[in-house]
Chains A and B, each alone.
Chain A
């Protein structure tokens, strides 16, 4: 029974506000906790949308400038297409029991992972602590993020 675990802690930076930018970070943070690995999430720039009350239920999949979607850019830019593709993706994820972003973040907070907002981004978007979901532990500076991240693997998504 060799103890093969070598990663003790991960600090995941979320900088994108698209569905495909946010989910991988949430899945990796939750998965880390499931393995007994400590995890912190640091939301910066548009990643902040995921933890902003007025926005966290309206995250969309990028249908323009997303070659992974294999959809002509012009088509992706038509009105209604981002919503349609997002709903399609959400239905697929629901079948796999992947929770919607609000429920997922609540679950991740319950696992004991830390959820932090970037101070520079909060200032940039003129937000306050009250605009952010209650699971956010603190608004911290980059310096404070690095302090918290000491000894961890830093993952940028």
Chain B
């Protein structure tokens, strides 16, 4: 278990950099995590996805897959890949401070 420092707070993360304690996440940390993930600026559309990730995690205990995101977040699969080119579900989960979603579809 390692830690990462965002917004001057040290938070525990797993080997791939995903938060292991989502309660420690704050919105102020998102911009910095996004930058590390190769996204220069978080737009309102990014935030739509990030907030949806957190809601889903709070409700279901796991982050949604790309398919679920495309069907229910209000952002299409096409746009999701434009917003998060390196894999929408994984990248958005990291920025949203939740564990990596697991799923094959």
Contact among A1, A96, A107 with B77 in the assembled complex (CB-CB below 8 Å)? A107
**Would you list which residues of chain A between 7 and 43 have a CB under 8 Å from chain B?**
27, 30-31, 33-36
- The residue on A at minimum CB distance from B94 is A1
A34→B90 contact, CB < 8 A: yes
**Would you list which residues of chain A between 95 and 133 have a CB under 8 Å from chain B?**
96-99, 107, 110-112
B interface residues, how many (CB within 8 angstroms): 24
- B22 interfacial contact with A, CB 8 Å: no
- A2 interfacial contact with B, CB 8 Å: yes
A1→B86 contact, CB < 8 A: no
Q: How far is the CB of A26 from chain B (nearest CB, A)?
A: 9
Report B's interface with A, CB cutoff 8 A.
2, 4, 13, 15-17, 65-68, 70, 76-78, 81, 85-91, 104-105
Report A's interface with B, CB cutoff 8 A.
1-2, 4, 27, 30-31, 33-36, 96-99, 107, 110-112
Known contacts A31-B104, A33-B87, A97-B105: A1-B13 contact under CB 8 Å: yes
A36: B residues at CB distance < 8 A: 85-87, 90-91
Q: How far is the CB of A115 from chain B (nearest CB, A)?
A: 14
Known contacts A1-B4, A27-B104: A110-B89 contact under CB 8 Å: no
A sample of 16 more A-B contacts (CB under 8 A), given A1-B4, A34-B65, A110-B70, is A1-B13, A33-B81, A34-B66, A34-B87, A34-B88, A34-B89, A35-B87, A36-B87, A98-B105, A99-B67, A99-B105, A107-B77, A110-B77, A111-B77, A111-B81, A112-B81
- The residue on B at minimum CB distance from A35 is B87
Separation of A4 and B90 alpha carbons in the complex (Å): 14
Separation of A99 and B89 alpha carbons in the complex (Å): 18
Known contacts A1-B2, A27-B104: A97-B67 contact under CB 8 Å: yes
